Amino acid sequence: MDDNTMYKSYPKVNIFLKIIGHKDGYHQLISRFVKVKTIHDVMWFEANDGKGFSITGDFDCPPESNTIYKAYLKLKEHFGYRRIEEFCQTHKVVVYKKIPTEAGLGGGSSNAATFLHMINNELSLKLSKDDLMKIGAEIGADVPFFISGYDSANVRGFGQIVEEFEEDVPKLEIFTPNISCNTAKIFRVYRQNFSQTMGQSKDLGEKLALLDSKEILEEFSPEVLNDLYPAALKAHSELHFEKKDGYFFSGSGSSFFRAI
């Protein structure tokens, strides 16, 4: 095993995001996820002190809240508790962060997915992509998409249904203002103020799922495409001063993007 093997962890944007229901405390959605390759985090393993699981990186949350740590716990729960634990006692995870956090780009979920691939490769666990995606679905809604390796996909349900969408993915430019958007807060504002649109969102979401991303961005407005955008504007009024013509809103924000 080569401790210096580097793994790239890419972000995504939501070309559209429609919330179509609410079940068991979670929102159901249909969304087009597109991988962005112009920016990425880099992850690798280094020697650890043997005292326990360790992550090194520029994170804004405690280790136990990190999605990488959650992925570690889920992996131990499902496969080879002792082997995985022993490996992570002697190998810490190092993350060189370039993807902004709390920005609607799925950076934490991408890191979790990359970690699962890393462990699978380094320990030769021989877990299939489906195995990893099932574990990923228990970690976070965006994780299965990142495990899939698809450049573009329609994502449904709670994020566990990932359908590859074959298209010429447009080249995207991302703009992330210095505003942190907490996903849980944005969803709470959405439920309190905008959830009456769920029925209409389902029909439009199914129509959008059939269109190429470039076509979607040419024909629809940012407000129509992302159900969380109005909630984010209400929760963070400063976003009004950051939005620009021709840019769209990704996820729960705060990132904007456009095709170039």
Q: SS in 3 state form for 104-155?
A: CCCHHHHHHHHHHHHHHHHCCCCCCHHHHHHHHHHHCCCHHHHHHCCCEEEE
Query: What local confidence, expressed as pLDDT, does residue 3 receive?
Result: 54
Mean pLDDT of 83-94: 93
DSSP 227: T
Known active-site residue 244: no
The per-residue pLDDT for 199 is: 66
> Known catalytic residue: 185?
no
| Residue 101, token pair as written in the block | 């956090």
**Mean pLDDT across 47-63:** 84
Note the pLDDT tens digit of each residue in 153-212. Answer: 999 999 999 999 999 999 999 999 999 999 999 999 999 999 887 767 889 999 999 999
- Tokens 């994780």 locate to 143
Q: 10 Å Cβ neighbour count for 82?
A: 8
Q: Which of 12, 35, 70, 74 is catalytic?
A: 12
- Total Cβ atoms within 10 A of residue 223: 12
8 Å CB contact between 73 and 117: no
Q: Mean pLDDT over residues 215-234, rounded?
A: 96
Q: Catalytic residue among 18, 70, 74, 142, which?
A: 142
Distance CA 126, CA 128 (A): 6
Q: Give the SS3 label for residue 233.
A: helix
What average pLDDT does range 76-88 have in this prediction?
A: 86
pTM for the structure as a whole: 0.94
Residues of the chain with pLDDT > 70: what percent?
98
In this predicted model, what pLDDT tens digit does every residue of 121-134 receive, in sequence order? 999 999 999 999 99
pLDDT for position 2: 47
pLDDT for residue 192: 92
pLDDT, mean over the chain = 93
Predicted confidence at residue 1, as pLDDT, reads 40
Which tens digit of pLDDT belongs to each residue from 104-123? 999 999 999 999 999 999 99
Q: 21 pLDDT band (50/70/90 cuts)?
A: confident
